[in-house]
Amino acid sequence: MTIDNTPFLRNTLLADAAMGAGAAALTIFGSGFLARLLDLPAGLLFWAGVALVPVAIFLTMMASRRAIPRAWLREIVFINWAWVAASLGILAFAPIAPNALGVAFILAQAVAVAAFAVLEGAALRRPAEAAA
């Protein structure tokens, strides 16, 4: 079953992809600077950015489709919620000590990703359409 890729969903997916791509570029190429600024490990920032690259590509591909398989949209929402959980888990359980700006950085991106999960998840609550 598929979900019609409405303009709202398409724009949400594109915004999610743009934010992911921007965050990927920032953390991959600026990991050293950000590590010093935020008191976060450069490796954590770099590899988090690398992990975002395929996600941003996938989101862009999904935004270009007329209809999206429900399972794929469900995976997008799941990945976003997993990112939020991992972000909060890093603050709660990882042996790191970011400064206040580092904590704000992690929380701000977690809130933004949660917002995308909610917006994209709203499309899952619409009635299913027959595959064309």
In single-letter form, the type of residue at position 38 comes to L
Cβ proximity of 68 and 2 under 8 Å: yes
For 55, other C-beta atoms within 10 Å of its C-beta total: 19
- Percentage of residues in the chain having pLDDT higher than 70: 95
> Average pLDDT for residues 11-38, to the nearest whole number?
97
Confidence label for 132 from pLDDT (cuts 50, 70 and 90): very low
State the pLDDT at residue 56: 97
> Average pLDDT for residues 69-93, to the nearest whole number?
96
State the pLDDT at residue 130: 46
Asked if residue 127 has pLDDT above 60, the reply is yes
Residue keyed to tokens 């941003």: 56
In single-letter form, the type of residue at position 56 comes to A
Q: What is the mean pLDDT of the chain?
A: 94
